[in-house]
Amino acid sequence: MEWKNWSNFPFTQHELLPSKPGIYGVWDTEELVWYVGRSLKKTIQLNE
């Protein structure tokens, strides 16, 4: 699958997301895709 070749990093390191628009996905270690979406700019708010 093409998405397996995308640049990636653990979700806990979300600060590594680029600050420019793009298409992003979230999948787990079992390769279950949880989210695919397009961003207009980097804005992440987590309840940590």
Which pLDDT belongs to residue 47?
Answer: 63
Residue 23 lies in a domain: yes
Structural domain count, the chain: 1
Q: In which domain, by residue range, is 24 found?
A: 2-39
Which pLDDT belongs to residue 9?
Answer: 81
Residue 46 lies in a domain: no
Q: SS3 of 4, please?
A: helix
Which pLDDT belongs to residue 1?
Answer: 65
- In Å, how far are 27, 34, 40 from 30, measured between CA atoms? 8, 11, 28
| Cα torsion angle, 40, 43, 18, 47, sign | negative
The pTM is what? Answer: 0.53
What confidence tens digit (pLDDT) does each residue in 10-46 have? 878 877 877 777 788 888 888 888 888 887 765 556 6
